[in-house]
Amino acid sequence: MTLDLSIYPQLLTALLPELVLSAWALVLLLVVAWRHRTASDARVAGWLTLVALATTAGAVWWLWWHSAHATGMAAMIAVDDFRFVSDWIFLGAALLTVLFSMRYLEREGLLAPEYYVLLVFATIGMMLMGGGDDLMVIFLGLELMSICLYALAGFNRRSPRAAEAGLKYFLLGAFASAFLLYGIALTYGATGTTNLSRIGVQVASLGLQHNPLLLLGVALLLIGFGFKVAAVPFHMWAPDVYDGSPTPVAGYMATAVKAAAFAALFRVVGEALAAVGAWREIVAGLAITTMVAGNLIALAQRSLKRMLAYSSVAHAGYLLVAVATGVAAGSAAFVFYLVAYSLTTLAAFALLAAKGRGGESDVQIDDLAGLAAQRPWLAFALTVCMLSLLGFPGTAASSASGTSWWRR
């Protein structure tokens, strides 16, 4: 199916998944405004959210099944397999988050169904980031996602840790957005466009590879994305925010949010900056620093939740290895690793939620002693998740790591 995005009906067809999920978000808003007082009301909102995510995944599948692709002039939205696979990852992570949020929210007494509305709008922002073919679309998607997550991080209003997490995330997220927006402005000043494909053409045709204005813009873009993916040395917000957030939200941020930021970064460097060689060395250096620092700091943690937070920082380094290639093989390794990492990390946070109470911030590694005797299946599942995150041979993450390095 060939879509000319300059024709309005065909543009709407290309945006079908985002439109479907936006329509469901409006329905969910009406339902939440009508029923928002009891645990039953929260469950209704949760089940509606699952239906919304499933139907949106069906819309993505419909476009993929018909081999949808864009033709004509460069547009602001991409229509390609990378976008479709990224959307499935975002929707899958959101669906799993909703599934283990429903019982968690009732257990913790967080019965505000607005939680699910925020999750849906955050997922829409992620889909715009993964499918955006223009820096402004990516930025708008980023802000839609971020604003929802600021509220989700501090969702437990009775917890001082949650208030601290929400405030830290808001302040550092605002700084990161400022860096990113300034980088977009400088890139526009150097190339005269914010469209990713056109930026690539302008850089190659006008010989802008060493243009100081463009290089400064690229540096600011990388700093902004570095904050969003929690790459060292821009990672300091992640442990405190993950620790203070409700555990399902922490798992969502460690997987879907990271996936969206990486998908946008991969598209920017692959389409717009392919001719600018300077970013490769920077990203490779960030990858090495992030892998080493993330793993070493994780070893020193006694809190299981903070250890998982630093583990997500380390895995950002592994994903940066795929980004540093900037080629088709790198994108294949990136997607494969991201699927394995998302499933494993969400499972680890879900098991942590099953083990602890009150936000799980006080669950220490020493508390796991004797777990196999008390709850053998929980201990077995947690062991598999930890071995997979460690890269143990035979697990999903180890296979993905091997694919990432082999592809490179």
Taking the C-alpha atoms of residue 227 and residue 180, their distance in angstroms, rounded to an integer, is 10
What is the separation of C-alpha 298 from the centre of its chain, rounded to a whole number of angstroms? 21
End-to-end CA distance of the chain: 32
CB 291 within 8 A of CB 314: yes
Helix, coil or strand: residue 158? coil
User: Residue length, the chain?
Assistant: 408
Q: Checking DSSP bridges between strand 2-4 and strand 69-71, what pairing results, if any?
A: parallel
Q: Is residue 2 within a helix (H) or strand (E), and if so which, with residue range?
A: strand 2-4
Q: Which residue, among 304, 311, 302, has the nearest Cα to 360 in the 3D structure?
A: 304
Measure the CA–CA gap between 149 and 350, rounded to whole angstroms: 19
- The residue among 114, 120, 366, 142 whose CA lies nearest residue 264 is 142
Q: State the alpha helices, DSSP H only, in 66-211.
A: 81-108, 114-131, 135-153, 160-191, 196-206
**Could you report the per-residue pLDDT of 382-398, keeping only the tens digit for each?**
888 878 877 776 666 55
**Residue 101 CB partners (closer than 8 Å, separation 6+):** 46, 115, 116, 119, 246, 248
Q: Phi, psi (5° rounding) for residue 361? A: -70, -25
Q: Which residues contact 25 (CB under 8 A, 6 or more apart)?
A: 52, 117, 120, 121, 124
Q: How far apart are CA 259 and CA 248, in angstroms?
A: 16
Half-sphere exposure of 306 (CA within 13 A, CB side): 19
Cα 276 from Cα 214, distance rounded (Å): 9
Q: What is the secondary structure of 13-44 as a DSSP string?
A: HHTHHHHHHHHHHHHHHHHHHHS-SSHHHHHH
CA–CA distance, 71 with 200 (Å, rounded to integer): 18
Q: Residue 366: count other Cβ atoms within 10 Å of its Cβ.
A: 8
What the block records as the tokens of 274 is 């392919």
What confidence score (pLDDT) does residue 77 get? 87
DSSP letter (8 states) at residue 132: B
Q: What are the two backbone dihedrals, phi and then psi, of residue 134, each rounded to the nearest 5 degrees? A: -145, 140
Predicted confidence (pLDDT) per residue in 155-200, tens digit: 888 888 888 888 889 988 888 899 999 999 999 999 988 998 899 8
The amino acid sitting at 99 is L
Sites in the chain below the pLDDT cut of 70? 74, 326-329, 356-362, 393-408
Q: How far is CA 236 from the centre of its chain?
A: 17
Domain edges within the chain:
2-407
- Residue 211 backbone phi and psi in degrees, to 5: -70, 125
pLDDT in the model for residue 395? 65
38 burial level (CB within 10 Å; 0-12, 13-18, 19+): exposed
**In 326-395, where does DSSP find H-type helix?**
328-355, 371-374, 376-390
Residue linked to tokens 């299946």: 377
**pLDDT value at position 95?**
94
Residue with tokens 């009150």: 358
**Cis peptide bond prior to 233, omega within 30° of 0:** yes
Task: Determine the pLDDT at residue 406.
Answer: 34
Question: Which of 99, 104, 98, 138 lies closest to 116 in space, CA to CA?
Answer: 98
